[in-house]
Amino acid sequence: MAFTEPLRNCGDFGPGDYEWLHLLVGDWQLISDLAFGDLVLSFPADYIPSAGSGNGRGMPAPGSPFRVLAHVRPATGPTVFHQDMVGELMPEELTGPLRAAWVGRRIELLRAGGDGPATGAQVKIVPLVRNGRTLALLTVHTGRRSGQVTSLQEVVYREAADALLRMANEGLWPDFSAPTGSRRGAPRVGDGAIRIDADDRVAYVSPNAESALRRLGIDGELVGKRLMDVVPPALGPGVEPDETLAPVLSGRTAWRTEVEGARVSVNFRSVPLRDRSGRLGAVLLCRDVTELRRRDLELVSKDATVREIHHRVKNNLQTVSALLRLQARRMTTDEARHGLEQAMRRVATIAMVHETLSQGFSQNVDFDELIERQFRLAAEVAAPEQSVRTRIIGEFGELPTRLATPLALVINELVTNAVEHGLAGRTGTVTLEASRVPDEEGAGQLLEVVVSDDGAGMGAAVIEESGVGAFRRADVGEGLGMQIVRTLVAGELGGSIHWSPRQGGGTEVTVRARLDDQPGP
């Protein structure tokens, strides 16, 4: 359930209000770290809607407590609430000030008393106002500090946090137009922070930020300078800065960019600060992401290597298949030719799986795309002189790569057997059906695959194979294909296989394979 559910239920607010709160909570770690305090989002437990007008000007009921919707702790200092506050009620002594702040829509600063977890903490109440309506309350809880000298870093950070809180109170932050990126290495306050004034000049550089800039080759006093005057020259001759660099380093755009020097990469994020009167400057967060980018490059290289290996294996298997085909043509007996042709089809099936794996980075395989062509090809090759129809029901979905090869081989053998024996010399249909079912314990999923034909059938015989029993010696009349299927189902797929008469005539074979990583039965 979304934390904004209480707002949705009251009927006073719209989708834009919910989304704005989601953006705020998605980025409020920034304020928590700058303020060195816990942030708590709360909403009245008993809310009186705005008499059906839908203008969002409802009020907390008199004496109503406030329930916590979300909670975040600082990474730069100690927490006030050691237990998660979500779902809890705010301390009773805060009920009156919280209601007053909701109604007045103004920021309030107070100290919480009593014996609760927030005892002795300084509490700042920030009404989150948008379009003249209070959506929720944001409270900043900072622990009591006695006998400790306040550092310049703390002063600068708290001033930036206060600016962002005022922007949140006025509905100016977060900004819907600010882009968000998912690339690894997003800088946080603890990675390094730079305070930019309204004239785009550096007012303060944290020690971690100074270290990151020094790795870029920027040394010396930076206070009073513009970063655009020192960062691009440090990148070296011939390096063209990204077009997003200037607006980020000046703090005028809520954006992220990355600069690369000599074997060094630094990520920058700009958080502009402003109020109703104008621009106040910005907080610039930076992080040395050199090792992250090196690992990303290694992962890309490994992925490319794995894909190339699959591609080469596919080529080698296709060569083996071609050699088997040539050898089959030179055979003088039908039995030998048929055996080599079967071996050729099995090798070609494995090659097709490796071809699919060579075309993607995922650990899973889109098995529907893989098996559709293989299914029809297996039916055509097994009996080129017959008219055999094929039908696919259901979807396999994405399967782990460890299941792709054995399952493709099993289906290939079952389809070949259905055409050669079930539909021997006649026209008919082979159907492939896939579905997912819970296992007997209900703790995981099984893939159920049914291959059926409307041919001669197998009489009243029913064969059930699963587990270790599937490795028994072949019965009279059972060929290599049957042995291959049993071995793969029990060993590689960790499942079971069941032959039975098909209703309406013919035979159906049901294979169940485990989809989790647990060992088979």
Which alpha helices (DSSP H) does 60-206 contain, by range? 95-104, 152-169
Q: Is the pLDDT of residue 471 over 90?
A: no
Confidence tier at 149 by pLDDT (50, 70, 90): confident
pLDDT of residue 64: 93
Q: Can you tell me the mean pLDDT for 84-104?
A: 93
pLDDT of residue 31: 96
Task: Write out the DSSP string of 9-65.
Answer: HHSS--HHHHHHHHHHHHHTHHHHHHHTSEEEEEEESSEE--TT--SS--EEPTT--
Q: Is the pLDDT of residue 144 over 90?
A: no
Question: Lowest-confidence range among 121-125, 182-186, 400-404?
Answer: 182-186
Confidence tier at 464 by pLDDT (50, 70, 90): low
Question: Lowest-confidence range among 242-256, 392-406, 470-484?
Answer: 470-484
Contact 454, 428 (CB under 8 A): yes
Say how far apart CA 469 and CA 461 lie, in whole Å: 18
pLDDT in tens, 23-52: 999 999 999 999 999 999 999 999 988 765
pLDDT of residue 318: 74
Q: H/E element holding 212?
A: helix 207-215
pLDDT in tens, 402-415: 788 788 888 888 88
Q: Which of 394, 457, 455, 456 is nearest to 429 (CA)?
A: 455
Confidence tier at 445 by pLDDT (50, 70, 90): confident
Q: What is the mean pLDDT of the chain?
A: 81
Q: Are strands 445-453 and 428-438 parallel, antiparallel or unpaired?
A: antiparallel
Confidence tier at 166 by pLDDT (50, 70, 90): very high
pLDDT of residue 114: 46
Share of the chain above pLDDT 70, in %: 81
User: Edge-to-edge, what's the strand order for the sheet holding 463-466?
Assistant: 388-394, 428-438, 445-453, 507-514, 496-501, 463-466
pLDDT of residue 117: 45
pLDDT of residue 53: 47
Q: Is the pLDDT of residue 268 over 80?
A: yes
Of residues 247 and 442, the one with the higher pLDDT is 247
- Using only the alpha carbons of the chain, give its radius of gyration: 34
In the beta sheet, which residues pair with residue 60? 47
Q: Is the pLDDT of residue 396 over 80?
A: yes
pLDDT of residue 465: 55
pLDDT of residue 115: 45
* Residue 169 neighbours by CB under 8 Å, 6+ apart: 105, 106, 107, 126, 127, 128, 129
Using DSSP's 3-state secondary structure scheme, residue 397 falls into coil
Superfamily of chain region 5-169 = GAF domain (3.30.450.280)
Say how far apart CA 348 and CA 63 lie, in whole Å: 75
Q: Can you tell me the mean pLDDT for 191-202?
A: 94
Q: Can you tell me the mean pLDDT for 77-87?
A: 91
Of residues 128 and 115, the one with the higher pLDDT is 128
* The dihedral formed by the CA atoms of 181, 184, 187 and 192, expressed in degrees to the nearest 10: -160
Count CB-CB contacts under 10 A for residue 8: 15
Structure tokens at 395: 């979807």
For domain 364-521, say whether CATH 3.30.565.10 is its number: yes
Say how far apart CA 172 and CA 120 lie, in whole Å: 31
Q: What is the pTM of this model?
A: 0.61
Of residues 334 and 151, the one with the higher pLDDT is 151
SS (H, E, C) 235-248: CCCCCCCCCCHHHH
Fold classification of 189-288 (topology level):
Beta-Lactamase (3.30.450)
Confidence tier at 474 by pLDDT (50, 70, 90): very low
CA 430 to chain centre: 39
